[in-house]
Structure 1
Amino acid sequence: GILKKILSAGPNSDFSGLRTADGPQPGIAGKQPAMAQTLLDDHDTARPLDPATGGDGGFGTDDQQMLGYAYILTHPPFPWVFLRHLDGANGAAIKKLVSLRRKLG
């Protein structure tokens, strides 16, 4: 899926896999963005908090989580932010991305 492509592109900065041959991003997000929503985690997919690792129980590592939010908050369609992530290590950075998206539309 798209998140796997984001995570594999990050270390090499090769984001060419995030578009189709004719330009838009793959899947419904590229074909019908008005009908799509994107998210990294929700109450059904999040794992329990892990005090041993300090993780927030959410999607991937903190770095992977930020790559995901950087993508979904700067591209169509409508993104969702998991509330638990706002309280985690990336909360301030996610809020900045949300503010930027609101400002720029």
Structure 2
Amino acid sequence: MDSGTTTSPGSQLRARSPEHQSWKHAPSAYVVCTKDRAIDTELQQDTAARCDSVREWQTGHSPFVGRPELVIDLVLGRVSSCDQSAGFSFAAGADPVVLFA
């Protein structure tokens, strides 16, 4: 063991970046939660600039708890606007199912 260096078991994994970042090539949306006290609004806006769709909601950090209807409308809108050629399709008559952890 080399006493001059210390590394954590995952340090080599964290140092590498993925070869392909899917979010750069797939439709993406970001919701800026203007009443969020955990993540500064300016930081959210900087992150949102990378997405192709940005919305601002007057909600706290967890809109899926406080305003679930907004989240449902966003997800259903995004699903309905997906290009079927990109692999997003549903069986005739089937409703899309959205799950949140």
Q: Which is richer in strand?
A: 2
TM-score, structure 1 as length reference: 0.26
Higher relative contact order (CA 8 A, sep 6+): 1
TM-score, structure 2 as length reference: 0.26
Structure number with bigger Rg: 2
